[in-house]
Structures are given as C-alpha cells and as structure tokens.
C-alpha cells in the first residue's frame, strides 16, 4: 500500500550501504522543495556494475529500511528489486508514474555526476518529461559542467534540472566498504542500526566482535 502524495522525491541508488550522505541529501531536497515524501528505491541489478559486484538486494533493502525508519517523510520501495533484469532509471520512473498517478509530481534525486551519466542514456527527453531532476552537489561544485556536458538538452529543459548543495555528499559507500574490510570504524558515517546490520551479517568482510554477549562495532572499545 502507499499513501497519495502530491510531490514525491525519488532517491534511487545501490545503497551498498546507505549512509548519512544519502539521508542528509534526501532531507535537504525534501525541505528545499517542500516534498510530501521521499521514496528510497534500492536498485535491483545495477546497470553499471558486473554481476556479483554488489551486495544481495535483500541486505541493501533491509539496511535502507533501518536507516529511514525514524523519518515519517521517508519510505522505501521494492519496485526495482522486484522487476526482473537490469535496473534502468526510465523503468523506475515509468513504474512510479503508473503507481502514483498523473497528479503526483516526481523529483528524481541523485548526484550531479550521476545526472550527467543518466541523461546521456537512451531517451533523455522522456526522462525529463517524467520528472524533475535534482542534482545534489558538494559546495563549490562547478555547475557549468552541467550546461557544458548536456548542451542543448540542458538549455531546452533547464527548468527541469535543479541543483542543491549538500556538504555530506563527501561520504562514500565505496569508502565505507573499504573501512569495514580494513577493520576501521564506520560510526557516524552510517546510522547505528545499519552499522550493526553490516557486522551482524558479515557484509563487506566484516568481523563480528562479541564482548560480554553484546555485538560491538569495529573500533569500539570493549565494554
């Protein structure tokens, strides 16, 4: 079931794992544009990664659920996970447009570099017809890159391409996975519920640390 909304943020991504950068970005865009809801959509089979080069969808979905539980404006969708085959943004937007109906305006939230890639894919005009793209950037990002690389597409649809600066964009899922492998702490990079899920399920080469019957995060002092 879903509740009817007028403006819906759509945050797609592998979320391997989801981290505070994703959450801060979603909330910043929600506040900036007064969105009724932000829907996190974990990718099923990422188009840009080889098979086996990402964590099972069930784990990425559960981490996204755990990370978003406390925000009443955040929800998580299985639409990409349940669709067979490779995940493409155009399919995600078609499915959500059908599900939520023509009265809901979609805002697709992603990083500025990702927008440059997405709008270079098939049918970029249709993507921009289906939703407004919101590019989350680090402070100081050279915004001229968008116009230079998208060219006429940007000039024709610049009212459908928005930019929001988000300091926490510096956090990286790749870095978090590496820190876990190296036994370095990830506290304050991901919600505590996500950190415990990672260690409890041995994701990214994590090693469980049990002290007095309690699961401890890597880098935690023994209790």
Q: Residue 135 and residue 31: Cα distance in Å, rounded? A: 15
pLDDT digits (tens, 9 = 90+) for 89-107: 999 999 999 999 999 999 9
pLDDT digits (tens, 9 = 90+) for 129-157: 999 999 998 888 887 888 888 888 888 98
User: What is the distance, to the nearest Å, from the Cα of residue 104 to the centroid of all Cα atoms in its chain?
Assistant: 20
Buried b (16+ CB within 10 A) or exposed e, 15-48: bbbbbebbbbbbbbbbeebebebbbbbbbbbbee
Are the CB atoms for 118 and 82 separated by under 8 Å?
no
Q: Residue 180 and residue 186: Cα distance in Å, rounded? A: 7
Predicted confidence at residue 151, as pLDDT, reads 87
Q: Which residue ranges form the domains of the chain, and what is each CATH number?
A: 7-171 (3.40.50.620), 172-223 (no CATH)
* Span 56-85, average pLDDT: 97
Judge whether residue 209 has pLDDT over 70.
no
pLDDT digits (tens, 9 = 90+) for 15-57: 999 999 999 999 999 999 999 999 999 999 988 787 778 999 9
pLDDT digits (tens, 9 = 90+) for 166-189: 877 778 999 999 999 998 989 899
* Span 184-201, average pLDDT: 93
In percent, the amount of the chain with pLDDT more than 90 equals 65
The DSSP call for residue 94 is: H
Q: Residue 173 and residue 104: Cα distance in Å, rounded? A: 31
Bond into 17 cis (ω within 30): yes
Overall pTM > 0.85: yes
Start-to-end Cα distance in the chain: 43
Q: Residue 215 and residue 209: Cα distance in Å, rounded? A: 6
Does 200 or 117 have the greater pLDDT score?
200
- In this structure, the strands spanning 214-216 and 209-211 are antiparallel
């Amino acid at each position: 079931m879903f509740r009817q909304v007028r403006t819906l943020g759509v945050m797609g991504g592998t979320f391997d794992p989801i981290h505070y950068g994703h959450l801060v970005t979603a909330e910043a865009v929600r506040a900036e544009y007064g969105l009724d809801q932000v829907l996190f959509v974990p990718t099923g089979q990422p188009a840009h990664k080889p098979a086996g080069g990402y964590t099972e969808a069930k784990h990425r979905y559960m981490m996204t659920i755990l990370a978003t539980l406390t925000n009443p404006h955040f929800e998580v969708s299985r639409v990409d996970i349940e669709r067979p085959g490779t995940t493409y943004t155009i399919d995600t937007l078609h499915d959500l447009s059908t599900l939520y109906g023509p009265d809901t305006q979609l805002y697709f939230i992603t990083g500025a570099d990702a927008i440059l890639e997405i709008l270079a894919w098939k049918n970029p005009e249709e993507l921009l017809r289906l939703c407004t793209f919101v590019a989350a950037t680090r402070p100081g990002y050279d915004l001229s890159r968008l116009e230079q690389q998208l060219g006429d597409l940007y000039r024709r649809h610049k009212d459908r391409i928005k930019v929001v600066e988000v300091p926490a964009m510096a956090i990286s899922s790749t870095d978090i996975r590496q820190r876990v492998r190296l036994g370095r702490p990830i506290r304050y990079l991901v919600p505590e519920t996500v950190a415990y899920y990672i260690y409890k399920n041995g994701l990214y080469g994590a090693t469980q640390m049990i002290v007095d019957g309690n699961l401890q995060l890597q880098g935690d002092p023994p209790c």
